[in-house]
A and B are shown apart, each in its own frame.
Chain A
Amino acid sequence: MVFPPRKKMEEVRLMKGNEAIAHAAVRYGVDGYFGYPITPQSEVLETLEELMPWETTGMVVLQAESEVAAINMVYGGASTGKAVMTSSSSPGVSLMQEGLSYIAAGELPALVVNVMRGGPGLGTIHPSQADYFQATKGGGHGDYHFIVLAPATVQEMADFVGLGFDLAFKYRTPVMMLADGIVGQMMEKVVLPPARPRRTEQEIAEQCPWAVTGRPGWRKPNVLTTLELDSYKMEENNRRYQQTYDLIRRNEVRYKEYHTEDAEYLMVAFGSIARICLKAIEDARARGLKIGLVRPVTLWPFPEEIISELSKKVKGILVVELNAGQMIEDVRMAAKDRVPIYHFGRLGGIVPNPQEVLDAFEDRFLKSK
């Protein structure tokens, strides 16, 4: 999370994470964005409307009448082989679960950004990480998964747009960027990705032979449907989905390690809270307390191996999340409870400071034990 030294000519900009997503989308050559306003992510749509990319790249930007409509616009756009995305925040993403299930079942590439806020219900507009289960366990109906990327910096908010679409098209799957209100609203330095043109119709036809584009005489109709009443065929479809998920599990696990080489204890945290943990760890190291950090970058597939490996070396693991304990379940499964694994979380939109994290660590592992 420390910025590497930049080349002199790179254009460093200062902006919010939400704004970075909008800029990155236009530069990546995204074909369409469909969204509905909700705090704390409305700047994505606002920035796009300000940028007017339909005048430059030809990107379509549309404010839908609801998140339900927005995700179904994404479904429609993706069906035609276009690179399409939406963004929302927790209550809105709940409304999108039906559509996400269809997009996963249709094996369609798409990018969905969730800038999480506190729930349940209308909850709060303040940051949270309480949608971990919804994102990683398949929030809609049916047996499905999609890749979940967790950005911790504004730079990653920008970079994961491109990464998200690359993965989405590689595996024909929706990809979710699971951010939170902190990284969405925070202003930070960012180097925007280079601009490139949108794909041509010809390129789309070559890359996406399945795309619904209008049927030329030489081929059979392309039909995008998620319905299959023949149980044997439906089982086949499900097996195909699972094969894709296995492939993704093998190839696409991403995480970052900090100070793990000599760590006696481990923290696991994702997104912006991982930065607070890193500060806490550095403070602890100044006092001779050797803690390391694993920051999962893909929440699904979950970086099980590294956590399993490290669990054999450390005395205990603290999972820090802005929720009541969700990712801890995956950490415990990966670490097979070899060592004590505890959770620390703040709820309702409260963000702990590094001292609080360290206090929690000392409370769990060092006091009277």
Chain B
Amino acid sequence: MENNEYIKRPENLVYRKPRLLNDNNMHYCPGCSHGVVHRLVAEVIEEMGVEHKTIGIAPVGCAVFAYNYIDIDWVEAAHGRAPAVATAVRRLNPDRLVFTYQGDGDLAAIGTAETIHAANRGENITIIFINNGIYGMTGGQMAPTTLEGMTTSTTPYGRRIDLNGYPLKITELLAQLPGTCYVTRQSVHTPATVRKTKLAIRKAFENSLAGKGTSVVEVVSTCNSGWKMSPAKANEWMVENMFPAYPPGDLKNEE
């Protein structure tokens, strides 16, 4: 049927998923941003050639099974404790690349103390922070980063500031700490932003290996299941609603 089959030769290959992203089908919902970020992490580790010295710390939340998809060594941490786990892993193995991969509930609610103190000590780790403003794994409850007025299963009439407080801008908080060297906010909803996020992860990983301090890469993400919209619509909704509260760009970039 397709008469461009002749193009599909090895020498013409411009893109395929990285080897470290294995063939297991990911459990994420269709269109979930996690899959893109997983792929980028795998690509960067592969391109840097550091899989033999990379240790990932998986969170509790949707990404709890990250270790099933990226073929590197992993430790699965208790809920919120990934930065504490990473602290010890990196300090006891100072030549390793150590990163945590955490969602907003894990990082900015139950694990706030561990996150802030690890960053404040300037631990030489990378924190990859998936912010979709909702608890995906447990069925769409309010997260610390849920927007005002946003409907979740525990804020069925919208998040009310008087009841639930304000969306927590923890990345801005982390950027204030002298222990962080690189704090950036990205997204993965277009080809261009995907490329920028990949560069950000690469920079963060290089910082961690070089021992420059804590690097934080927030990825403003969608949870189309939790948000109850199609993946494409979720991307639009994210740009319209999440970006004003969580504007993309570098918050801190120390050379």
- Contact status B89-A102, CB under 8 Å: no
- Contact status B54-A214, CB under 8 Å: yes
A226 to B97 alpha-carbon distance, docked (Å): 23
- Contact status B113-A69, CB under 8 Å: yes
User: Restricting to A29-49, which residues have a CB under 8 Å from any CB of B?
Assistant: 31-32, 34
- Contact status B74-A82, CB under 8 Å: no
- Contact status B74-A72, CB under 8 Å: no
- Contact status A72-B96, CB under 8 Å: no
Partner of A212, one of B65, B73, B87, B91: B73
A225 at the B interface (CB under 8 A): yes
Partner of B55, one of A74, A212, A216: A212
A220 to B65 alpha-carbon distance, docked (Å): 16
B57 proximity list for chain A (CB < 8 A): 76
Q: How far is the CB of A74 from chain B (nearest CB, A)?
A: 7
Against A, the Cβ 8 Å flags (1 = close, 0 = not) of B49-77 are 00111110110000011010001111111
A271 at the B interface (CB under 8 A): no
- Contact status A34-B52, CB under 8 Å: no
Which residue from chain B places its CB closest to the CB of A74 in the assembled complex? B88
B55 proximity list for chain A (CB < 8 A): 80, 212-214
- Contact status B53-A214, CB under 8 Å: yes
User: Restricting to B107-147, which residues have a CB under 8 Å from any CB of A?
Assistant: 113-114, 117
B78 at the A interface (CB under 8 A): yes
B81 at the A interface (CB under 8 A): yes
Which residue from chain B places its CB closest to the CB of A64 in the assembled complex? B84
- Contact status B58-A75, CB under 8 Å: no
B174 at the A interface (CB under 8 A): no
A347 at the B interface (CB under 8 A): no
Which residue from chain A places its CB closest to the CB of B22 in the assembled complex? A221
Against B, the Cβ 8 Å flags (1 = close, 0 = not) of A144-188 are 000000000000000000000000000000000000000000000
Against B, the Cβ 8 Å flags (1 = close, 0 = not) of A200-231 are 00000000000011111100111111110000
A190 at the B interface (CB under 8 A): no
Which residue from chain B places its CB closest to the CB of A73 in the assembled complex? B88
| Given A32-B92, A213-B93, A214-B52, also A226-B85 (CB < 8 A) | no
User: Restricting to A50-79, which residues have a CB under 8 Å from any CB of B?
Assistant: 60, 62, 64-66, 68-70, 72-77, 79
- Contact status A215-B89, CB under 8 Å: no
A66 to B116 alpha-carbon distance, docked (Å): 12
On chain B, the number of residues with a Cβ less than 8 Å from chain A's Cβ atoms is 33
- Contact status B72-A215, CB under 8 Å: yes
Q: How far is the CB of B49 from chain A (nearest CB, A)?
A: 11
Q: How far is the CB of A86 from chain B (nearest CB, A)?
A: 10
- Contact status A76-B52, CB under 8 Å: no
Against B, the Cβ 8 Å flags (1 = close, 0 = not) of A1-22 are 0000000000000000000000
Partner of B73, one of A32, A76, A215: A215
- Contact status B64-A227, CB under 8 Å: yes
B86 at the A interface (CB under 8 A): yes
- Contact status B74-A76, CB under 8 Å: no
- Contact status B92-A84, CB under 8 Å: yes
A65 proximity list for chain B (CB < 8 A): 113-114, 117
A69 proximity list for chain B (CB < 8 A): 81, 84, 87, 113-114, 117
Q: How far is the CB of B65 from chain A (nearest CB, A)?
A: 8
A98 at the B interface (CB under 8 A): yes
- Contact status B117-A72, CB under 8 Å: no
- Contact status B113-A66, CB under 8 Å: yes
A99 at the B interface (CB under 8 A): yes
Which residue from chain B places its CB closest to the CB of A62 in the assembled complex? B91
B74 proximity list for chain A (CB < 8 A): 212, 221-225
- Contact status B67-A223, CB under 8 Å: yes
Which residue from chain A places its CB closest to the CB of B57 in the assembled complex? A76
Which residue from chain B places its CB closest to the CB of A83 in the assembled complex? B92
Which residue from chain B places its CB closest to the CB of A214 in the assembled complex? B53
- Contact status B72-A225, CB under 8 Å: no
- Contact status A32-B91, CB under 8 Å: yes
A191 to B65 alpha-carbon distance, docked (Å): 48
Q: How far is the CB of B55 from chain A (nearest CB, A)?
A: 6
A224 to B74 alpha-carbon distance, docked (Å): 6
Partner of B88, one of A66, A77, A221, A225: A77
Q: How far is the CB of A77 from chain B (nearest CB, A)?
A: 4
Q: Told that A60-B88, A214-B97, A223-B73 touch, could you supply 16 new A-B pairs with CB distance under 8 A? A: A62-B91, A66-B113, A69-B87, A72-B77, A72-B78, A76-B84, A84-B88, A98-B78, A99-B78, A213-B93, A214-B52, A221-B71, A224-B76, A225-B74, A225-B75, A227-B76
Q: List 18 A-B contacts (CB under 8 A).
A: A32-B88, A60-B92, A62-B88, A69-B113, A72-B77, A73-B84, A73-B85, A79-B89, A102-B78, A212-B74, A213-B96, A216-B52, A217-B51, A221-B73, A221-B74, A222-B74, A224-B76, A225-B75
Instruction: Across the A-B interface, give the 5 residue pairs with the lowest CB-CB distance, nearest first.
Output: A76-B85, A225-B76, A73-B88, A76-B88, A72-B81
